[in-house]
Homo-oligomer: A and B are copies of this chain.
Amino acid sequence: MFSQTVEYALRAAVYLAQRRPDPVTTENIAQATKVPQAYLAKVISSLVKAGLVKSQRGVGGGVTLVRPPEDVNILEVVNAVDPIKRITTCPLDLMTHGMKLCPLHRRVDNAYAMVENAFRSTTLAEILAEPGQSVPLCEVPTVEPSSSAVVPAKPNHRMPLEVEVAAPAD
């Protein structure tokens, strides 16, 4: 139901929130979030245009979340790249309906409203702070019985990884 673009934008936003206030290159984000690099660049450009992130060219540059994660809700991210368009007028152009939606479209629009509200009340900080074991996007190291195996795959871009705490699959 949500577009691929929305998915990518959310991943990037969460990752940027993690790394804030450090600037991160799009390639870095692309690797960490497993999003096609070139396409991610376009998506991020939308976030820039929306004023959610700022970009800095050149060495040591990259993109940064402008506001603190507590002040950014995920509806803003979604709307920046692929706005949820509420139903404001009758899709059938029945002018006697006017602003008043018929029962069908009222229900559909209510669904939109629910999603909007849920997303508006969810901040990036909230997602990062989730008490669960794992950092949102990152692989979480599992404790291998015999091998020691605690080696970050890519030491060059530090991601805040985390220890699994015996959370068996539900």
Interface set of A (CB-CB < 8 Å, partner B): 1-2, 7, 10-11, 14, 33-34, 74, 84-85, 91-100, 102-104, 106-108, 110-112, 114-115, 118-119, 122, 126-128, 130, 132, 134-142, 164-165, 167, 169-170
Query: Once the chains bind, are B136 and A100 in contact (CB under 8 Å)?
Result: no
With A1-B2, A74-B107, A119-B111 known to touch, is A97 a contact of B140 (CB < 8 Å)? yes
A1-B1, A96-B141, A102-B137 are known; give 15 further A-B pairs, CB within 8 A: A1-B2, A14-B104, A93-B170, A94-B137, A94-B139, A97-B139, A97-B140, A98-B169, A99-B170, A100-B134, A100-B169, A103-B127, A107-B118, A107-B122, A111-B114
Query: Once the chains bind, are A10 and B170 in contact (CB under 8 Å)?
Result: no
Query: Once the chains bind, are A104 and B137 in contact (CB under 8 Å)?
Result: yes
Specify the main secondary structure of chain A where it touches its partner: loop
Query: Once the chains bind, are B1 and A115 in contact (CB under 8 Å)?
Result: yes
Closest to A142 in B: B96
Which residues on the B side are within 8 Å of A164 (C-beta)?
96
With A1-B1, A2-B108, A114-B118 known to touch, is A170 a contact of B137 (CB < 8 Å)? no
**Distance between Cα atoms of A104 and B134 in the complex (Å):** 11
Query: Once the chains bind, are B114 and A114 in contact (CB under 8 Å)?
Result: yes
Closest to A131 in B: B103
**Distance between Cα atoms of A83 and B92 in the complex (Å):** 23
